[in-house]
Each structure stands twice: as structure tokens, then as C-alpha cells.
A and B are shown apart, each in its own frame.
Chain A
């Protein structure tokens, strides 16, 4: 109703697209075995993109009364009028049909403050039982994203998600576990707490190991974190066309181990997202890396036209500087259990997750970051002992070429708005750790 009213108030002549994002979010946060923050918010974001005579302008409002909507339209018109003609500005997308996303499975609760409070009390009880301190969150979000334009496009998707993230701590040694799904229930909070506690108990009294090259077993959260950087710096067609992507000059070539297959697939049952992009184009499943060979890119309508192909439905709200992004990366699972990867490792490091990872060189995909909340030395096929955190500085082109084994269980980790990453654990040889972390003495 509101969106139709916006187009009515706009009047005839201009091309326009209206976007509505209405969200309800709630999050209970705890630390030191008590609730420290407990919040809820209710928001409506309404925006309009106006295109007139090759010019473009966008304005938004959080108020949906008639006066605010009229003011929003005027501000968009003013910007559009002041704008310069954009060469090759595409007309708005026309009507489309959208595929259905997998139905959410599992019991869903934790929507009320009382239910989230019960989940936190369960987590804290499990922490106290083994004399640990717990910090973390229990969150629930739901909302609706809708698009409508003057060419008749109508797109709408209701979404919901839940998340339990826990760090257990004792004496400076910590363990972490997380669960994220469309549905989340009390038992998920309990199981996540048990995993975090187990990690923490195994992390007691860590000792240092020398930095250097190691075989590593990276748990799924590590792989998900690396995928964020691959998504942002390389799998989008604009970065490729500009020559800044790690795939530039490498399309069709083997860049990773044949064990690595990656696609963007919002229809995967574990992921979360939208069946259309922010231009209203249906999201397609796109093969990016096939058995180690660079095979594809995600496109929006602008990059698709430049490449003489069609949009894969990965555009952001126009106008934007970023270009298309893959929001739902999925790495194909392999045949190994985590225990198998550890058993087959003579000497190596098991990493629970990474901290503060960042890009150093986008063309060579060099990342740096630190291990966190559960880093263990593997010796002769067994976890020998916990070790202090380490900093890695490594080219992911090299690392993913050195993948020796891929896990058979995929796990979802949250990513940018409207997406996340589905990844298994992987085992990599010759992974470079460049220093020890958290030492108050020389590196």
C-alpha cells in the first residue's frame, strides 16, 4: 500500500523504483555470566530511485506519513535534476518471476524477551557448571524486503533469522561456538554452549609454538571469513572488469586445488537471503570455481551489458560504486570428517575461527588475521595441546591451491546483509603463520 502510494504521489513521466525494508530485531547480550544488553528495534526504511532523462537520484525516509513521502520524492527529484547524464543508464528492470527459497526447517522459538532470557540462563548454567565465564548473544530478526517500480516490477520476500554466538572463558583461555539459522530454539542455545565450553576446556594452559609454515585444519567459520574477502574482492564482475579482481587474467585457469568448488547459490537449504537482487532481478545459481578452475562471475545489469551477457541477479541498490556481489557463497562439501583430517595430519594446527582478518593485496588475495578461541597443535594424528594464538599472512590463491581435504559437513556463517557463507572445514598444507599474537614481548 505504502509503495503504491509513493508511485501515485510521484505522478507520471519519471521512471522510479521504490524499496521498502521493514525489520524487527531483538538481541540479548551477555558477558561475565550476566545479561549486559537487551534490546529490540522496529524500523521501516523507505526509499525511491528516480531516473529522468538519463539522470538519477535516490532519497530515503524512515517516516511513512504522506508529508514525509512527498518530501522524499522532492529530494530525489532535486538530486536527479542536479545530476549529470549518466552514459548508458539502463531503464528500470521489467516484471520478473522469482524462484522459491527452501522452507525453513526446525523448531523456532526465542522470539520473545522471555524466551531469549531462558536461552541465556541455560547458556550461563552450562558455563557455571564447568566453572567458565560466558559472553555472547542470542538474537532474532524478521522482516520484509519489497521492490516496486514504474515498469510493473513487483518483488517481495519475508525473511527471518536467529543466531546464538558464545565465547567461554577461563583464565584468559577461551572457546567459541556459533549457530545461525532461519529458525533457532532453546536446544540450539544449549548445544552451542556445550561446544563453546568444550573448546574452552581444551584451550586451558596454552603454550607458544614458533610461527612458520604449518599444515592447518580450518574449521568452517574460518573458511566463511575468507569467503567474505573473495566475495568483495574478486567474484563480482565489476572488480574483474576494472582489473582489480584476483580472477583478472585467470578466468578459465586452474587457480585452486581440484578439491575446491565454489558457487553462489541462494537456493541452498543452509543459506539465508533473497530470491531477487536490489534491482529486482531473480538471483541465479552461479558456478564460480569448478574443481579449482575459475569459471564465472556474478553480474548486475550494468556489468552484464558490458560483458554481453545477462544479469545473474546480484546487483546492489543503484546507483552504487561496488557493483555486483555474491552474497551466498557455497563451497561444495568433500568426503572427510574433521576427525579424519586431524588423524591424517602428522604435525599441524587446528583453528576454530579467525579474528580481524583484512586484505593486504587484492590481486594476489593476500590476507592477514589471527586465530582465536581455540587453536590447537596436532601431532601424529591427535590434538596434542592448545597453543597461543598466531597471526597468519598468506595468499589465499596459494592456500586454496594447497587444499588437501574438504570436510563433509557444511556450516552456515552470517555475511553481509542478505547473505552468508556455507562452507565445510578444509585442510591446507604450507599455510604461513608470521608471528605469535597477544604477547607483550618482542615478536
Chain B
């Protein structure tokens, strides 16, 4: 790899080139899925390639290839420089990178049990057992269960002298049951929707989830939802479980605090942000109990790493402190534009993509008590669990979420089940209405593995830590079909 990295950096070393880097990545992915008694997916992919990024007279060029040969590295580097020269035409303000430490290091994510050494048959046995339990009720017409594993080895070198080797292993698993009947279909998922739980971990993550142990409960809830009444409409106190809070954090705090969005760089696609830089240190984002902390060092997070794709060391910092906006997700480019050091949020989907600012592990800090304490403290309200749908406007203010399951709460007790729960709000008002957050016992990281951003589109994963929380007078029951 050293030979290839030297080839790129030597080749890029020419007049006008301010900076160059090369990322070489080898990645192995395994996917196992069982759907309603059949193999749904059984894939083992081996991916390798490299990307060269060049800053020529303050303008970016990037090219990438899956052919790991010196001649191809030379060709791709030439192409990156040629592209950067085009970017530099008529440029009014040069891109500058924030000054960061030059690093030579190796970092490996901790793994207790290498998921690639667990026999495929053992993984499938777990999934088929879940499938059997889910389909024991005749109303369950679709049972889906899956596991995914990846190991990414990354070699990174820059013209500034940084040399980093990282290995990150990720694991994930989850399932869902869809009941059909009564002119309706209802889905329940475990431990969360959209593929289940994921994290930077080995197979120990899968073993700790209690997948099989929860299958019958999830199946029965899906069936019960078919006959449940619709979510009532109106304004009520709303308790959200941790997995739904995770997506709420992602959409209404994560994306608007990406500084590239704030600066308009995503205007044509994902949109911009209401969290403009003039609001830092005084804008009230949420109630005084709302503390949202970004952390690329937290064990197990999907975005946990040693260094980002700019070579900046992982770190922890506040985005919202005691309800006040404090910071952003940044890379070296936007950090420099804002006059600060990078927070190390530069990430690319793979070797074929240019890195961009990404939400990292962003968590709502725990409060006090348990979910049951919050329920006991609620006279009239609703409890929603597990995300079903999500939508938010291009400045990240008006959001609407649907969940899989809801419960009415009356006089401090969880009462009847409700289906098609949904709620809508405006970001700072919603977080401003947060008046209870459960304690550390109920707090956990939830992996979001399917975050899309950029053109060409890139998918990346991050985790959001949360415990159940309560919000006052939320508009619920948006639509009854």
C-alpha cells in the first residue's frame, strides 16, 4: 500500500497543488437475511479501491478507481489534478483547510468476537429460529430478519505527511413482522426498525440483543395492532422511546448542525439549515435539560473511529448545551471557512466517494428516572415506540414522524394500544417542550445505518444515544386513512 500511496502523492506534487491525499480501502461485507421461511439475502462481498483528492489553487478535484495498480494510481491522480484545474476556473474564494496535527498512527475498533469467524450456518440458524417464531401466528404474512457485518481497512496518506491505518468492524441485526388482516397491515420491528441495531462491534452485538427472546412479543404486538384503534388527533403530552428519539435527533439536530449545509453547500439536494452561524452561543434550541453531545470516541457508535477522512482525531464536543446551540459538525474545509479547528466529521461512503461533512454519533444526554417514572408522572398523554416514517423540511424545521406502535396514558398508567401513531412539530419548539428525560439506565446508542447525503448520493452510518423523553403538548394523529 505504501508504494501506491507514494505514487499518488509524488504524482500530485506539482506546481499549484496545495494539498493531496489518497485513501485506499479494502472492505468485506456479509449480509444474511431470511424472509418468510426463505433465504432473503446471502451475500459476501469483497471491495477494494482508492480515491485521490487534490486541492489545486484552492479548488477540489477527485478521482477514484477499483484497479489497485501503480499505473492506475498515476492515471487517477492526473485525472484528479485535471478536474481540480477546471474547478479553479473563475474561483473567487479559495478553499483553505484548517491547520491540524500531522499524524502517523494505527487505530483498530475493539472486537470481542470477529463476526467473519462465526460460521454462516450459525448466523442463519438464529435467523430461521426468529422466522419460525414470528410466523407462528397466521396473521403474520411477512417475517423479515437479517444480520450484516463489515470490516473496513483504510490506508490514508496526505501531502502534509499524515499516515493513518484504521480497521473498523461493524455488526448489525434485527427483524420485523407484518400482520395482515382486517383490511390493514401493521408492522413491528425489533430492536428498532430500518434494519435493526447496528454498531462498531463484533458478533457480541448480535448476541447481546435478545433477538430470539423478543420475537413472540413483537409478533403478538403486530397482530394486536390490526384491531387497535387509530391514534387520536389533537395536542397531547408525548413520550417517545429511545429509538424514536434517536431519529428525532438525527433529523432535527444532526443534519441542521452540519456546517456545510449551514453554508449552503447542500442547497440543491438535502437543503440548508435554520441553525445559521449567527445563532451560536445564544439561540435557544431546546429546554434547559436538553444536552446534545457529538462524540466520535464513544464505544460502539457506528461513526466511532480513530480519525476522520481528513485525518483529524476523533473527539467529543457539545452541539446543544443546556438548550443553547453551541457548535456544529465540521471538516477541515468548513472549519477553516468559519475560522475554527475541525471537529473531525469528514467521512466518505467508500473509496469511490469524496469525503464530506457527516453527522457523527450525536446523543441526547440522560436525565433522571425510568420510563415508568415518566409514565406515572403523565396525567394524559401518549407513548410512541419505533420509527415507521420520517419527513422534515429542507431547513429542518417542520417535521412529521410516524411510529409503529402507541399506547394511551391516563392518570399515570399505560392503557390501550393505538395504531398508526404520528406527530408533527417545529424543531426548536418541540425540543423546547422537553420536560422529562429518563436516566442512564434507559440510555443506549441506536445505530442509524442508512443516512443519505450528497450528490452523487452517499450512505453513511452513525449512532444516536437516547433514553425515553417526554414533550409537552405535541400535535399528534396527523392523518387517519
Q: B428 interface residue, CB < 8 Å from A?
A: yes
Q: B389 interface residue, CB < 8 Å from A?
A: yes
Q: CB within 8 A of B86: which of A38, A62, A357, A362?
A: A38
Q: B339 interface residue, CB < 8 Å from A?
A: no
- Chain A residue at smallest Cβ distance from B90: A121
Q: CB within 8 A of A437: which of B263, B356, B393, B456?
A: B393
Which residues of chain B have C-beta atoms less than 8 A from A44's C-beta?
A: 66-67
Q: B318 interface residue, CB < 8 Å from A?
A: no
* Inter-subunit contact B46/A40 (CB<8 Å): no
Among B92, B128, B142, B353, the most chain A Cβ lie within 10 Å of the Cβ of B142
Q: B278 interface residue, CB < 8 Å from A?
A: no
* Inter-subunit contact B42/A56 (CB<8 Å): yes
Q: CB within 8 A of A61: which of B46, B79, B479, B481?
A: B46
CA distance A40 to B352 in the complex (A): 8
* Least CB distance, B356 to chain A, in whole angstroms: 8
User: What band does the interface of chain B fall in when counting residues whose beta carbon is under 8 Å from A?
Assistant: 35 or more
Q: A208 interface residue, CB < 8 Å from B?
A: no
Which residues of chain A have C-beta atoms less than 8 A from B37's C-beta?
A: 87
Q: A427 interface residue, CB < 8 Å from B?
A: no
Produce 1/0 per residue, A164-203, CB < 8 A to B.
Answer: 0111010000101000000000000000000000000000
* Inter-subunit contact B180/A242 (CB<8 Å): yes
Within 8 A of A (CB), among B61-113: 61-68, 76, 79-80, 82-84, 86-87, 89-93
* Inter-subunit contact B268/A391 (CB<8 Å): no
Q: A355 interface residue, CB < 8 Å from B?
A: yes
10 chain-A/chain-B pairs, Cβ below 8 angstroms = A37-B60, A43-B65, A43-B66, A63-B46, A79-B120, A83-B42, A114-B86, A135-B267, A356-B391, A389-B394
* Inter-subunit contact B61/A137 (CB<8 Å): no
Which residues of chain B have C-beta atoms less than 8 A from A358's C-beta?
A: 389-391
* Inter-subunit contact A63/B45 (CB<8 Å): no
* Least CB distance, B446 to chain A, in whole angstroms: 19
- Chain B residue at smallest Cβ distance from A436: B398
Interface residues of A (CB under 8 A from B): 25, 27-29, 31-44, 47, 56-63, 68, 71-72, 75-76, 78-80, 82-84, 86-87, 113-114, 116-117, 121, 124, 133, 135-137, 139, 165-167, 169, 174, 176, 242-244, 249, 319-321, 355-364, 366, 368-370, 372, 389, 391, 393-395, 432, 434-443
Q: CB within 8 A of A393: which of B90, B141, B397, B479?
A: B479
* Inter-subunit contact A372/B67 (CB<8 Å): no
CA distance A56 to B178 in the complex (A): 25
CA distance A20 to B422 in the complex (A): 43
Which residues of chain B have C-beta atoms less than 8 A from A29's C-beta?
A: 455
* Inter-subunit contact B390/A434 (CB<8 Å): no
* Inter-subunit contact B64/A36 (CB<8 Å): no
* Least CB distance, B239 to chain A, in whole angstroms: 20
* Least CB distance, B39 to chain A, in whole angstroms: 5
Q: CB within 8 A of B185: which of A133, A174, A243?
A: A243
* Inter-subunit contact B424/A435 (CB<8 Å): yes
CA distance A357 to B390 in the complex (A): 8
Instruction: Using A27-B455, A61-B45 as known contacts, say yes or no to A319 and B39 having CB atoms under 8 A apart.
Output: yes
Which residues of chain B have C-beta atoms less than 8 A from A117's C-beta?
A: 86-87, 89
Instruction: Using A62-B46, A321-B40, A391-B400 as known contacts, say yes or no to A38 and B60 having CB atoms under 8 A apart.
Output: yes
* Inter-subunit contact B49/A43 (CB<8 Å): yes
* Inter-subunit contact A362/B48 (CB<8 Å): no
Among A321, A395, A441, the most chain B Cβ lie within 10 Å of the Cβ of A321
Q: B213 interface residue, CB < 8 Å from A?
A: no
Within 8 A of A (CB), among B175-212: 178, 180, 183-185
* Least CB distance, B17 to chain A, in whole angstroms: 14
Which residues of chain A have C-beta atoms less than 8 A from B89's C-beta?
A: 35, 117, 121
CA distance A117 to B91 in the complex (A): 12
* Inter-subunit contact A363/B124 (CB<8 Å): no
Among A33, A37, A366, the most chain B Cβ lie within 10 Å of the Cβ of A37
Produce 1/0 per residue, B435-474, CB < 8 A to A.
Answer: 0000000000000000000011000000000000000000
Which residues of chain A have C-beta atoms less than 8 A from B377's C-beta?
A: none
- Chain A residue at smallest Cβ distance from B187: A244
Q: B392 interface residue, CB < 8 Å from A?
A: yes
* Least CB distance, A89 to chain B, in whole angstroms: 9
Which residues of chain B have C-beta atoms less than 8 A from A356's C-beta?
A: 391-394
* Inter-subunit contact B428/A40 (CB<8 Å): no
Produce 1/0 per residue, B357-395, CB < 8 A to A.
Answer: 000000000000000000000000000000011111111
Which residues of chain B have C-beta atoms less than 8 A from A60's C-beta?
A: 43-47
Which residues of chain B have C-beta atoms less than 8 A from A133's C-beta?
A: 264, 267
- Chain A residue at smallest Cβ distance from B267: A135
Q: B119 interface residue, CB < 8 Å from A?
A: yes
* Inter-subunit contact B41/A320 (CB<8 Å): yes
* Inter-subunit contact A368/B389 (CB<8 Å): yes
* Inter-subunit contact A321/B33 (CB<8 Å): yes
* Inter-subunit contact B66/A439 (CB<8 Å): no
Q: CB within 8 A of B398: which of A113, A364, A437?
A: A437
